[in-house]
Amino acid sequence: MQLRPRFDAAGLVTAVVTDHASGDLLMVAHMNAEALEQTLASGFAHYWSRSRSALWKKGETSGALQAVREVLVDCDQDAIWLKVQVEKPEDTCHTGRATCFYRRVGPHGHGLLPALDRA
Amino acid sequence: MQLRPRFDAAGLVTAVVTDHASGDLLMVAHMNAEALEQTLASGFAHYWSRSRSALWKKGETSGALQAVREVLVDCDQDAIWLKVQVEKPEDTCHTGRATCFYRRVGPHGHGLLPALDRA
Protein backbone atom coordinates (compact mmCIF):
# COMPACT_ATOMS: atom_id res chain seq x y z
CA MET A 1 0.00 0.00 0.00
CA GLN A 2 1.38 3.37 -1.00
CA LEU A 3 1.79 6.52 1.03
CA ARG A 4 -0.37 9.05 -0.78
CA PRO A 5 -0.62 12.17 1.36
CA ARG A 6 -3.75 14.16 0.76
CA PHE A 7 -2.43 17.70 0.55
CA ASP A 8 -4.96 20.50 0.99
CA ALA A 9 -5.60 23.39 -1.40
CA ALA A 10 -2.42 25.06 -0.14
CA GLY A 11 -0.45 21.85 -0.73
CA LEU A 12 -0.07 21.05 2.95
CA VAL A 13 -0.73 18.28 5.43
CA THR A 14 -0.82 18.74 9.20
CA ALA A 15 2.10 17.38 11.19
CA VAL A 16 1.60 16.45 14.84
CA VAL A 17 4.89 16.16 16.68
CA THR A 18 5.32 14.23 19.90
CA ASP A 19 8.30 13.33 22.02
CA HIS A 20 9.37 9.77 21.27
CA ALA A 21 10.17 8.99 24.90
CA SER A 22 7.59 10.89 26.96
CA GLY A 23 4.74 10.97 24.43
CA ASP A 24 4.24 14.69 25.13
CA LEU A 25 2.75 16.80 22.37
CA LEU A 26 5.45 19.24 21.33
CA MET A 27 4.00 21.20 18.42
CA VAL A 28 1.73 21.21 15.40
CA ALA A 29 3.18 22.25 12.06
CA HIS A 30 2.58 21.87 8.34
CA MET A 31 4.38 19.99 5.61
CA ASN A 32 4.31 20.32 1.88
CA ALA A 33 5.52 17.48 -0.34
CA GLU A 34 9.10 18.71 -0.21
CA ALA A 35 9.11 19.00 3.59
CA LEU A 36 7.80 15.46 3.88
CA GLU A 37 10.37 14.16 1.40
CA GLN A 38 13.24 15.92 3.14
CA THR A 39 12.04 14.61 6.49
CA LEU A 40 11.91 11.01 5.29
CA ALA A 41 15.18 11.30 3.37
CA SER A 42 17.22 13.02 6.08
CA GLY A 43 15.65 11.63 9.24
CA PHE A 44 15.25 15.17 10.58
CA ALA A 45 11.94 17.01 10.67
CA HIS A 46 11.36 19.62 7.98
CA TYR A 47 8.25 21.78 7.79
CA TRP A 48 6.71 24.41 5.60
CA SER A 49 6.51 27.79 7.28
CA ARG A 50 3.24 29.41 6.26
CA SER A 51 4.29 32.78 7.66
CA ARG A 52 7.63 32.83 5.87
CA SER A 53 6.54 30.75 2.84
CA ALA A 54 9.70 28.73 3.14
CA LEU A 55 10.92 25.21 3.75
CA TRP A 56 12.26 25.01 7.27
CA LYS A 57 14.51 22.44 8.89
CA LYS A 58 13.31 22.49 12.48
CA GLY A 59 16.09 23.55 14.83
CA GLU A 60 18.44 24.78 12.14
CA THR A 61 18.64 28.14 13.93
CA SER A 62 17.65 27.25 17.52
CA GLY A 63 19.46 23.94 17.73
CA ALA A 64 16.26 22.10 18.66
CA LEU A 65 16.69 19.59 15.84
CA GLN A 66 14.13 16.79 15.72
CA ALA A 67 15.51 13.35 14.91
CA VAL A 68 12.59 11.35 13.57
CA ARG A 69 12.09 8.00 15.29
CA GLU A 70 8.73 6.98 13.84
CA VAL A 71 6.23 8.29 11.30
CA LEU A 72 2.55 7.38 11.17
CA VAL A 73 -0.24 8.59 8.94
CA ASP A 74 -3.93 8.86 9.65
CA CYS A 75 -6.82 7.13 7.93
CA ASP A 76 -7.40 9.74 5.24
CA GLN A 77 -3.72 10.66 4.93
CA ASP A 78 -4.09 14.37 5.59
CA ALA A 79 -2.22 14.27 8.90
CA ILE A 80 1.22 12.93 9.77
CA TRP A 81 2.37 11.96 13.24
CA LEU A 82 6.07 12.35 13.90
CA LYS A 83 7.63 10.85 17.00
CA VAL A 84 10.89 12.66 17.49
CA GLN A 85 13.90 12.94 19.74
CA VAL A 86 14.75 16.57 20.25
CA GLU A 87 18.23 17.97 20.59
CA LYS A 88 18.11 21.03 22.89
CA PRO A 89 14.46 20.44 23.80
CA GLU A 90 14.16 23.68 25.80
CA ASP A 91 14.11 25.53 22.49
CA THR A 92 11.36 23.58 20.75
CA CYS A 93 8.94 26.49 21.15
CA HIS A 94 10.03 29.95 20.06
CA THR A 95 8.96 31.12 23.55
CA GLY A 96 11.83 29.08 25.01
CA ARG A 97 9.91 26.06 26.21
CA ALA A 98 10.03 22.35 25.54
CA THR A 99 6.50 22.37 24.13
CA CYS A 100 4.30 24.92 22.37
CA PHE A 101 1.36 23.70 24.49
CA TYR A 102 2.20 25.32 27.81
CA ARG A 103 -1.16 26.94 28.57
CA ARG A 104 -4.30 25.26 29.78
CA VAL A 105 -7.71 26.63 28.86
CA GLY A 106 -9.80 27.47 31.92
CA PRO A 107 -12.90 25.54 32.96
CA HIS A 108 -15.32 27.72 31.03
CA GLY A 109 -13.01 28.62 28.19
CA HIS A 110 -12.49 32.03 29.70
CA GLY A 111 -8.87 32.87 30.19
CA LEU A 112 -5.73 30.85 29.88
CA LEU A 113 -4.12 29.27 32.88
CA PRO A 114 -0.44 28.45 32.79
CA ALA A 115 -0.10 24.69 32.70
CA LEU A 116 2.37 24.73 35.54
CA ASP A 117 3.51 21.17 35.18
CA ARG A 118 4.38 21.81 31.55
CA ALA A 119 5.68 25.40 31.64
CA MET B 1 -4.89 36.21 29.84
CA GLN B 2 -7.63 35.61 27.33
CA LEU B 3 -8.14 32.68 25.02
CA ARG B 4 -8.07 34.21 21.56
CA PRO B 5 -7.97 31.40 19.01
CA ARG B 6 -6.34 32.37 15.77
CA PHE B 7 -8.75 30.95 13.22
CA ASP B 8 -7.45 30.51 9.67
CA ALA B 9 -9.00 31.91 6.49
CA ALA B 10 -11.63 29.16 6.65
CA GLY B 11 -12.43 30.02 10.26
CA LEU B 12 -10.78 26.92 11.69
CA VAL B 13 -8.15 25.87 14.19
CA THR B 14 -6.52 22.45 14.30
CA ALA B 15 -7.56 20.12 17.11
CA VAL B 16 -5.17 17.39 18.23
CA VAL B 17 -6.94 14.73 20.25
CA THR B 18 -5.15 12.37 22.62
CA ASP B 19 -6.34 9.77 25.07
CA HIS B 20 -6.31 11.22 28.57
CA ALA B 21 -5.08 7.99 30.14
CA SER B 22 -2.69 6.45 27.60
CA GLY B 23 -1.53 9.64 25.88
CA ASP B 24 -2.07 8.00 22.48
CA LEU B 25 -2.82 10.27 19.55
CA LEU B 26 -6.36 9.45 18.46
CA MET B 27 -7.19 11.87 15.67
CA VAL B 28 -6.67 15.31 14.18
CA ALA B 29 -9.75 17.40 13.44
CA HIS B 30 -10.81 20.99 12.95
CA MET B 31 -12.86 23.39 15.03
CA ASN B 32 -14.60 26.60 14.14
CA ALA B 33 -15.63 29.04 16.86
CA GLU B 34 -18.94 27.28 17.42
CA ALA B 35 -17.34 23.85 17.74
CA LEU B 36 -14.89 25.21 20.30
CA GLU B 37 -17.66 26.92 22.24
CA GLN B 38 -19.83 23.81 22.25
CA THR B 39 -16.88 21.71 23.37
CA LEU B 40 -16.07 23.99 26.28
CA ALA B 41 -19.73 24.44 27.23
CA SER B 42 -20.78 20.78 27.03
CA GLY B 43 -17.57 19.00 28.01
CA PHE B 44 -17.86 16.80 24.92
CA ALA B 45 -15.74 17.29 21.81
CA HIS B 46 -17.39 18.99 18.86
CA TYR B 47 -15.68 19.53 15.52
CA TRP B 48 -16.30 21.15 12.19
CA SER B 49 -16.56 18.64 9.37
CA ARG B 50 -14.90 20.15 6.33
CA SER B 51 -16.30 17.45 4.04
CA ARG B 52 -19.86 17.87 5.26
CA SER B 53 -19.63 21.58 6.13
CA ALA B 54 -21.40 20.86 9.38
CA LEU B 55 -20.90 21.04 13.12
CA TRP B 56 -20.32 17.56 14.42
CA LYS B 57 -20.54 16.19 17.93
CA LYS B 58 -17.95 13.42 17.88
CA GLY B 59 -19.55 10.04 18.55
CA GLU B 60 -23.12 11.20 18.12
CA THR B 61 -23.61 8.47 15.52
CA SER B 62 -20.90 5.96 16.39
CA GLY B 63 -21.14 6.19 20.16
CA ALA B 64 -17.44 7.08 20.46
CA LEU B 65 -18.20 10.23 22.43
CA GLN B 66 -15.19 12.15 23.73
CA ALA B 67 -15.49 13.51 27.26
CA VAL B 68 -12.99 16.34 27.52
CA ARG B 69 -10.64 16.09 30.48
CA GLU B 70 -8.20 18.88 29.65
CA VAL B 71 -7.75 21.56 26.99
CA LEU B 72 -4.48 23.23 26.11
CA VAL B 73 -3.61 25.78 23.46
CA ASP B 74 -0.34 26.36 21.65
CA CYS B 75 1.87 29.43 21.61
CA ASP B 76 0.22 31.14 18.64
CA GLN B 77 -3.26 29.84 19.46
CA ASP B 78 -3.97 28.17 16.13
CA ALA B 79 -3.96 24.65 17.55
CA ILE B 80 -5.94 23.14 20.41
CA TRP B 81 -4.97 20.00 22.30
CA LEU B 82 -7.85 18.00 23.73
CA LYS B 83 -7.21 15.23 26.21
CA VAL B 84 -10.27 13.06 26.17
CA GLN B 85 -11.81 9.95 27.60
CA VAL B 86 -13.56 8.01 24.86
CA GLU B 87 -16.73 6.06 25.27
CA LYS B 88 -16.69 3.08 22.87
CA PRO B 89 -13.06 3.72 21.86
CA GLU B 90 -13.05 1.01 19.18
CA ASP B 91 -15.13 3.35 17.04
CA THR B 92 -12.99 6.47 17.26
CA CYS B 93 -11.82 6.00 13.66
CA HIS B 94 -14.42 5.45 10.95
CA THR B 95 -12.38 2.38 9.94
CA GLY B 96 -13.35 0.77 13.24
CA ARG B 97 -10.19 1.37 15.21
CA ALA B 98 -9.31 3.13 18.44
CA THR B 99 -7.05 5.59 16.60
CA CYS B 100 -6.91 7.09 13.12
CA PHE B 101 -3.12 6.64 13.17
CA TYR B 102 -2.87 2.89 12.61
CA ARG B 103 -0.32 2.87 9.78
CA ARG B 104 3.38 3.42 10.01
CA VAL B 105 5.29 4.98 7.13
CA GLY B 106 8.10 2.73 5.93
CA PRO B 107 11.80 3.52 6.32
CA HIS B 108 12.15 5.29 2.99
CA GLY B 109 8.67 6.71 2.87
CA HIS B 110 7.67 4.13 0.30
CA GLY B 111 4.60 2.23 1.23
CA LEU B 112 2.65 2.01 4.42
CA LEU B 113 3.33 -0.64 6.95
CA PRO B 114 0.58 -1.63 9.29
CA ALA B 115 1.50 -0.43 12.75
CA LEU B 116 0.76 -3.79 14.24
CA ASP B 117 0.84 -2.71 17.83
CA ARG B 118 -1.77 -0.08 17.10
CA ALA B 119 -4.02 -1.83 14.56
Instruction: Encode pLDDT of B50-81 as tens digits.
Output: 989 999 999 999 999 999 999 999 999 999 99
Q: For residue B26, what are the contacts with CB-CB under 8 A and spacing of at least 6?
A: B17, B18, B19, B84, B86, B92, B98, B99, B100, B101
Which residues of chain A have a CB within 8 Å of the CB of B74?
A: 27-28, 100-101
User: Is A8 labelled as part of a ligand binding site?
Assistant: no
Question: What ipTM is given for this predicted complex?
Answer: 0.89
Using CB atoms, pick whichever of A25, A72, A108 lies closest to residue B18: A25
Question: Counting runs of H as helices and runs of E as strands, what totals does chain A give?
Answer: 1, 8
Using CB atoms, pick whichever of B14, B72, B108 lies closest to residue A14: B14
Mean pLDDT of B74-91: 94
Give the span between the Cα atoms of B68 and B83, in whole angstroms: 6
CATH of domain A12-114: 3.10.20.810
Instruction: Encode pLDDT of A24-69 as tens digits.
Output: 999 999 999 999 999 999 999 999 999 899 999 999 999 999 999 9
User: Is A76 labelled as part of a ligand binding site?
Assistant: yes
User: Is A24 labelled as part of a ligand binding site?
Assistant: no
